[in-house]
Amino acid sequence: MRRSGVSVLLTSKAVNEEPGDYVRRHCTVIAEFSAATQDSGNVSWLVDTPQERYFVKTAGPTDDRASHIAAPYLDHSERVGLLRNAIKLAASCAHVALPRLLNVIESPTGPALVYEAAPGELVGVPPEQRGDPSSAYRRFALLPADELLGLFDVLLDLHRDLAAAGWVAVDLYDGCLIVNFEEPSLRVVDLDTYRRGPSVNDMGRMFGSTRFMAPEEFEMGAVIDQRTTTFTLGRLIWHFGTRLTEREQDFCGTPALARAVQRACQPQPGDRHASVAEFAAEWEAQRFLP
């Protein structure tokens, strides 16, 4: 049973020590996510307090050599910039599938973002674990059709809200999906790299998993907009909705629903839905047809 009171994680606005030291002094660390589990350079913790469980995310050490990562994708200042971006995204959209940002604590190494902990398991797993029947990756793909389609409903509804607030998905993949198999329910996390409004591909090969990325995310100078988001959403739904086979006959929904998803996944942006709202509307129109 949680004790009453408010955690210092929710009341502190600035500290004069490293976030890791502060977190360990006030919380019980359940898991740490650093160079041992990811290559972004960020350092995060799942923590328990007498009041509640939280997820705390930081940009990691200012000296990237201290993170034991040979070459983080972004340097420390750029990672801080993405956390500031995540703060803006959280302020712009309140959706049940988006864990709430409860507080921001400034520290000598940048902000520490305190989120409510998302219950469940991360769908994305290392490639060598994708064949494991016990993995969340496989169990998600093999949920009963009505449950899986219901989680896709939530994924689309969230991104319709995000798109309405001006956000375009970047680096959305199965590693952003947390599923609570007991309900089931879906939470979507790590949206720091989403962009506000249409933009231009200024990276060449952008952040993301090749399995779900749109062609324009590999082309320097290409337009990145809501049609890019529809592609990634379509690919996520198709990949898991076909039970990982990528075969139309295995899709968990109706043929009409399959056609809606296939339209979202067209290589040419002009052949896709023009917006997330348009994709979501066609999805909803076809969802319960025979």
pLDDT tens per residue across span 243-261: 999 999 999 999 999 999 9
What count of residues does the chain have? 290
Four-CA torsion 272, 275, 277, 282, nearest 10 degrees: -10
Q: What's the token pair of residue 196?
A: 């506000």
Beta bridge partners of 29: 47
**CATH architecture type of domain 121-286:** Orthogonal Bundle (1.10)
Is residue 88's pLDDT more than 80?
yes
Global confidence as pTM: 0.94
- In angstroms, the CA 206 to CA 267 distance is 16
Of 1-5, 44-48, 106-110, 252-256, minimum mean pLDDT range: 1-5
**CATH architecture type of domain 8-116:** 2-Layer Sandwich (3.30)
Of 39-43, 157-161, 228-232, 236-240, minimum mean pLDDT range: 39-43
CB 273 within 8 A of CB 237: no
- In angstroms, the CA 57 to CA 38 distance is 13
**H or E stretch at 121:** strand 121-122
Backbone angles phi, psi at 289, to 5 degrees: -75, 150
pLDDT average, residue stretch 176-203: 97
Of 22-36, 93-107, 152-166, 235-249, minimum mean pLDDT range: 22-36
**pLDDT class for 3, splitting at 50, 70, 90?**
very low
Identify which of 281, 275, 283, 284 has the alpha carbon closest to the alpha carbon of residue 164.
275
**H or E stretch at 177:** strand 177-180
CB 147 within 8 A of CB 184: yes
Proportion of the chain above pLDDT 70, given as a percent: 93
**pLDDT class for 2, splitting at 50, 70, 90?**
very low
Identify which of 275, 83, 282 has the alpha carbon closest to the alpha carbon of residue 167.
275
Identify which of 84, 114, 82 has the alpha carbon closest to the alpha carbon of residue 99.
114
Is residue 232's pLDDT more than 90?
yes
